């Protein structure tokens, strides 16, 4: 069996000559490779476009590297918007586009007109000629299929067309970037690529550029919506038959509106700390200087146990002096009494000496009582809560100044500071849950017992209401001093009220109602 070769001469079939390789086909000449160059350039541009991941790099490639496929002097990429206004996305030869430049403003008017009225055309290109007689003189430039050709005065308004020679060469080409959605009859125009040069646009080049525009429309759309999951979900919905996506979206909107009337439990979150319930505060019985502490911070003490002592050197000296003065007064009184028995005129002096002796006794009793109070003892069983004792030793204190607190570890409560901006209606008996910082996954239940009528400034400088609540779970009593956040629950309100409470409060402050 023989098959004709490329030269027309018969060739021996491979099974007829086993082991002999077939003759290689002749290489095409340089003239036969010329038509393949534009196709190879088109394939290369389409391949690079599909590999793009950055929208900015893609637009730069569109207006600059299209020169590999065709020659032009000016190129611009137009991006359409939902309100049919659009703007110039990129211009050839520059890295960034100044949208307030005179050339960009005029070009925006041109591309808006092409993209809005004359540019969609089902994806076909539109060739523009400055000379109205150009199309009639050369029928090959009129286009075929979806391609069209118009003169500049016919395609653009007179005011815009009059400035064409000042900004652009004689021939322009508009390539709309049209996205055909599967399952839907309508199309979406993302924008368009505009090219301008001094020579006409043959039909062969226009067909190649239209293929490039179709591929770039798909790539550009993917780059614009890749970062939004909502856009991909929208495409998936609208791709369903019988406009199922529209029905689902409207149903979701109605469901969202109906959910605003759903009753939810109102609550507010505020910082809280575990404090002692019914503590005993140990105060300084005298004005003096703390000499030493006999217990450690947070130590368990018994009733009557020595807690701390004040400096007693001065009191002891005063007491010793007062006792000596008492002895002197007693001796003088006895001497005066003896003399009064012999001389009745000294009876008055004996009375004065007696009163002086009583005064000295009172001084001794007073100083003895003060000296007995320099040692402060615990009045109940509990935990001695105070700071580092080294901060107190040698520190002067006033009469009645608070030194430490005795607390029962089994009697604790939560103290909450609710900011005024977050305040809700507070009722005694409301449910409270405490989320400790050390155990946020295990909230401690409680019941509100007290809420102040007036707000006060906290140590953090926040105006807040003071709230106290007791714990209801006696098996899980937290340690005094632990902090966290407490959630205070209130009656049920609608979801709309819960979501708009803070915005309405801010709006009321701005409006002044």
pLDDT digits (tens, 9 = 90+) for 55-66: 888 889 999 988
The third-level CATH classification (topology) of the domain covering 33-227 is: Beta-Lactamase (3.30.450)
SS3 236: helix
Task: For 89-136, write each residue's pLDDT tens digit.
Answer: 899 988 888 888 999 999 999 998 888 764 445 567 888 888 766 554
Count of CB atoms situated within 10 Å of the CB of 466: 16
How would you classify residue 380: left for phi > 0, otherwise alpha for psi between -120 and 50, otherwise beta? Answer: beta
With a CB cutoff of 8 Å and minimum separation 6, the contacts of 440 are 484
pLDDT-derived band at 245, boundaries 50, 70, 90:
low
CB 100 within 8 A of CB 123: no
Across 31-56, average pLDDT: 80
Concatenated DSSP letters for 481-495? T-EEEEEEEEEEEEH
Task: For 452-467, write each residue's pLDDT tens digit.
Answer: 888 888 888 889 999 9
Residue 394 has pLDDT above 80, yes or no: yes
Across 162-167, average pLDDT: 91
In angstroms, rounded to a whole number, what is the distance separating the alpha carbons of residues 205 and 213? 12
Structure tokens at 321: 């002096």
Across 340-353, average pLDDT: 73
The third-level CATH classification (topology) of the domain covering 279-305+376-405 is: OB fold (Dihydrolipoamide Acetyltransferase, E2P) (2.40.50)
With a CB cutoff of 8 Å and minimum separation 6, the contacts of 451 are 426, 428, 465, 466, 467, 468
Percentage of residues in the chain having pLDDT higher than 90: 17
Concatenated DSSP letters for 331-356? HHHHHHHHHHHH-GGGHHHHHHHHHH
In angstroms, rounded to a whole number, what is the distance separating the alpha carbons of residues 309 and 374? 5
Beta bridge mates, 377 = 306
pLDDT at 32: 55
Structure tokens at 262: 């759903």
SS3 403: strand
SS3 204: helix
Most confident listed range (123-137, 246-260, 324-338)? 324-338
Query: Interhelix angle for 55-64 vs 36-50, to 10°?
Result: 160
Residue 372 has pLDDT above 80, yes or no: yes
In angstroms, rounded to a whole number, what is the distance separating the alpha carbons of residues 347 and 349? 5
Task: For 43-52, write each residue's pLDDT tens digit.
Answer: 888 888 888 8
Residue 352 has pLDDT above 50, yes or no: yes
Least confident of 20-29, 155-164, 172-181, 216-225: 20-29
In angstroms, rounded to a whole number, what is the distance separating the alpha carbons of residues 293 and 288? 14
pLDDT at 133: 61
Least confident of 31-45, 61-75, 432-446: 31-45
In angstroms, rounded to a whole number, what is the distance separating the alpha carbons of residues 86 and 286? 84
pLDDT at 331: 87
Across 497-508, average pLDDT: 77
Strand 171-180 and strand 375-377: pairing? unpaired
CATH class of 408-511: mainly beta
CB 392 within 8 A of CB 402: no
pLDDT at 123: 60
pTM of the model: 0.47
Task: For 73-88, write each residue's pLDDT tens digit.
Answer: 999 999 887 667 788 9
Structure tokens at 372: 């007995």
Note the Cα 144 to chain centre separation in Å.
Answer: 55
pLDDT at 29: 46
Q: What is the mean pLDDT of the chain?
A: 80
């Amino acid at each position: 069996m023989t098959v004709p070769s490329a030269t027309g001469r018969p060739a021996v079939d491979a099974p007829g000559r086993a082991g002999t390789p077939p003759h290689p086909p002749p290489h095409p000449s340089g003239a036969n490779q010329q038509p393949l160059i534009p196709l190879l350039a088109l394939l290369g541009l389409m391949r690079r476009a599909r590999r793009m991941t950055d929208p900015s790099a893609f637009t730069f490639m569109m207006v600059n590297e299209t020169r590999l496929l065709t020659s032009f002097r000016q190129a611009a990429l137009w991006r359409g918007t939902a309100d049919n206004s659009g703007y110039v996305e990129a211009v050839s030869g520059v890295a960034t586009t100044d949208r307030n430049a005179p050339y960009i403003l005029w070009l925006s008017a041109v591309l808006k007109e092409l993209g809005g009225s004359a540019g969609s055309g089902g994806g076909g290109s539109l060739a523009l000629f400055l000379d109205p007689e150009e199309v009639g003189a050369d029928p090959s430039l009129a286009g075929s299929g979806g391609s069209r050709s118009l003169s500049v005065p016919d395609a653009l308004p007179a005011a815009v067309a009059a400035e064409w020679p000042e900004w652009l060469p004689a021939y322009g080409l508009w390539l709309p970037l049209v996205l055909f959605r599967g399952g839907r009859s309508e199309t979406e125009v993302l924008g368009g690529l505009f090219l301008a040069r001094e020579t006409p646009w043959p039909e062969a080049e226009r067909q190649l550029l239209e293929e490039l525009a179709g591929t770039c429309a798909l790539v550009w759309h993917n780059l614009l919506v890749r970062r939004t999951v909502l856009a991909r979900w929208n495409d998936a919905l609208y791709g369903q038959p019988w406009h199922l996506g529209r029905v689902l979206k409207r149903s979701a909107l109605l469901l969202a509106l109906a959910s605003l009337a759903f009753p939810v439990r109102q609550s507010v979150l505020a910082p809280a700390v575990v404090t002692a319930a019914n503590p005993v505060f140990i105060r300084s019985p005298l004005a003096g200087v703390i000499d030493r502490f006999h217990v450690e911070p947070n130590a368990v003490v018994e009733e009557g146990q020595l807690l701390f002592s004040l400096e007693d050197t001065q009191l002891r000296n005063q007491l010793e002096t007062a006792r000596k003065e008492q002895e002197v007064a007693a001796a003088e009184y006895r001497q005066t009494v003896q003399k009064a028995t012999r001389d009745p005129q000294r009876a008055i002096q004996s009375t004065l000496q007696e009163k002086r002796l009583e005064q000295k006794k009172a001084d001794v009793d007073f100083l003895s009582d003060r000296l007995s109070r320099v040692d402060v003892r615990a009045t109940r069983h509990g935990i001695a809560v105070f700071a580092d004792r080294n901060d107190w030793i040698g520190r002067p204190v006033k009469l009645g100044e608070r030194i430490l607190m005795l607390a029962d570890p089994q009697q604790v409560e939560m103290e909450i500071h609710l900011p005024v901006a977050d305040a809700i209606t507070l009722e005694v008996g409301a449910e409270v849950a405490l989320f400790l910082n050390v155990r946020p996954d295990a909230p401690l239940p409680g019941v509100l017992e007290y809420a102040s009528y007036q707000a006060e400034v906290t140590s953090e400088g926040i105006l807040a209401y003071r709230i106290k609540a007791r714990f209801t779970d006696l098996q899980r009593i937290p340690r005094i001093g632990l902090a966290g956040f407490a959630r205070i629950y209130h009656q049920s309100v609608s979801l709309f009220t819960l979501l708009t409470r803070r915005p309405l409060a801010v709006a009321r402050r701005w409006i002044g109602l």
